[in-house]
Amino acid sequence: MSRWRAERASLVERIHAYVDGSLSGSSTEPFGALAVDVHRWQHRGDRVLAALTDAPVDRWRDVPAVPVALFKDLDVGTVAPGEEAIVFRTSGTTTGRRGVHRLRSTELYDHGALAWARRCTPGAPSEVVALLEDPTEAPDSSLSHMVALFTGLSDPAGQATWHIHNGRLDRDGLSRRLSRAGRPLYVASTAFALGEYLDGPVEPLPSGSVLMVTGGFKGRRHRLDPDGLHQEATARLQPGRYVLEYGMTELSSQLWSVAGEPYAPPPWLEVVAVDPATGHPLSAGEVGQLRFYDLCNLDSTLAVETMDQGVVHGDGRVSLHGRLAGAEVRGCSLSVEDGWSGGEPRAGTR
């Protein structure tokens, strides 16, 4: 094993330990020290990162954030094409290459996603009903991959059914699945797919069910805004809990929110709001462009700069304020909307 790969193995162990320790309160390693070591290792293996800074930096806040747009144009990260175990791709709305996120392994992604989902939705059912594409039909969808993990949230024998096919909602199959449910369900959906489902007849979910919604309407057609979606879904589906998830293809970690509350990032994900004109960090409470520093993004890049804007509060939680002016429409709801609007459905979502 080369020294560089041996260092990766050591970093994987340290990140696993950080994830577990940060949740139990037993972590002994500061975020900043581990983040800088991840950055230094990535700097030697990622030509894109090396082009952004001549030498590794000594503080995690100084690590250059790779703009999400570069994931479409360049091979971001330390994994060369053909070396990956899995490739996640963005949905996108234009022709040409979609954003690509290559991983040597999903172990860090899976470990962090499950750990934080369990913390944010304790006791959630492991019977998943997904208004998403099956991972076998959309193997490059990070969202479908993540939701498939949730069948093990509380029961290793949990199962999932998938109700988006070729970008369209299988309403009949979904209705049959819900009608025979005899216990609480974990219903996962994009905002757009849930809105489409609510356009027809629905039945209340089994008592104790969790409804997870991710993505937004991205400024495209729909009769409901996020607050309206929440109100109608709660009134008609009557879930025991309504939770929101924020994630993106270019990251390996997610943020969670109880509807109406700011999003909570896990301890291994730091979020910074910056002035979009200068890149300078803003004070807590100021609206700015969001940057994410994700320890679980080991095979890719530690720091990612989005085209989303929001507020990072003093406690680290995040309130979203939509897209920056002029930002390209993108997101995990788009494959579903393309299906209904007559466009060509896209296999990869989020």
Mean pLDDT value across residues 233-247: 97
Q: Compute the distance between CA of residue 313 and CA of residue 147 in angstroms, rounded to an integer.
A: 28
Q: Is the pLDDT of residue 127 over 50?
A: yes
Q: Is beta strand 186-190 parallel, antiparallel or unpaired with respect to 303-312?
A: unpaired
Q: Is the pLDDT of residue 235 over 80?
A: yes
Reported as a single tens digit per residue, the pLDDT across 293-309 is 999 999 999 999 999 99
Domains in the chain, start-ordered, CATH in brackets?
A: 108-248+331-340 (3.40.50)
Q: Considering only CA atoms, which of 194, 189, 117, 190 is closest in space to residue 149?
A: 117
β-pairing, 269-274 with 287-294? antiparallel
Which residues, in sequence order, are bridge partners of residue 304?
66, 292
Return the sign of the alpha-carbon dihedral for residues 315, 319, 323, 324: negative
- The pTM of the full predicted model, rounded to 2 decimals, is 0.90
| Residue 255 confidence (pLDDT) | 98
pLDDT band at 216 (very low <50, low <70, confident <90, very high): low
**If you average pLDDT over every residue of the chain, what do you get?**
89
